[in-house]
C-alpha cells in the first residue's frame, strides 16, 4: 500500500456496520430461540422476526450464529484494513445477518478496496 494514499473513514464505518450487524444477528438468534425480549404475542416474543431480517437463517440457529460471528470478524478485518477479500466475505455474511447494516458495509468495502493490505 502506498503511504501517500489518503486514508478515509470508509473501512472504519464498514467495520462498525459489520459489528453492529453481528450483534443484532446474535440478539435476533437469542430472541428467536429463547424469546428473551418479551412475551409471546407482544411483537418481541419467541419466533417474531422483523421483516428486514432474512428469516431463512433463523430457522437454523447454529448456522445463523456462525454467520453473525463471521460478521463480527469482518468488522475486525475492516478496522485493521487487512485482508480485503475476507473483510468483503464477512460483510456479505453481515448482510445475511442484518440487512440494514450489512448492505452499506459491503458497498463501503467495495469502494475502499485500495486502502487494504494483503
pLDDT class of 39 with cuts at 50, 70, 90: low
Question: What does the pLDDT look like over 7-28, one tens digit per residue?
Answer: 888 899 999 999 999 998 888 7
Q: Domain coordinates of the chain in residue numbers?
A: 10-115
Q: Among 31-35, 54-58, 103-107, whose mean pLDDT is lowest?
A: 54-58
Q: pLDDT value at position 49?
A: 56
- State residue 50's pLDDT score: 57
Judged against a pLDDT cut of 60, whether residue 52 lies above it is answered with no
d(CA 36, CA 55): 18
Amino acid at each position: 500500500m502506498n503511504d501517500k494514499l489518503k486514508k478515509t473513514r470508509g473501512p472504519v464505518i464498514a467495520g462498525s456496520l459489520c459489528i453492529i450487524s453481528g450483534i443484532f444477528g446474535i440478539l435476533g438468534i437469542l430472541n428467536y430461540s429463547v424469546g428473551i425480549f418479551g412475551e409471546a404475542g407482544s411483537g418481541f416474543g419467541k419466533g417474531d422476526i422483523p421483516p428486514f431480517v432474512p428469516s431463512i437463517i433463523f430457522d437454523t440457529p447454529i448456522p445463523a450464529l456462525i454467520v453473525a460471528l463471521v460478521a463480527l470478524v469482518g468488522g475486525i478485518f475492516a478496522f485493521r484494513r487487512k485482508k480485503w477479500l475476507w473483510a468483503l466475505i464477512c460483510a456479505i455474511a453481515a448482510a445475511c445477518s442484518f440487512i440494514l447494516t450489512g448492505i452499506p458495509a459491503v458497498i463501503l468495502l467495495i469502494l475502499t478496496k485500495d486502502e487494504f493490505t494483503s
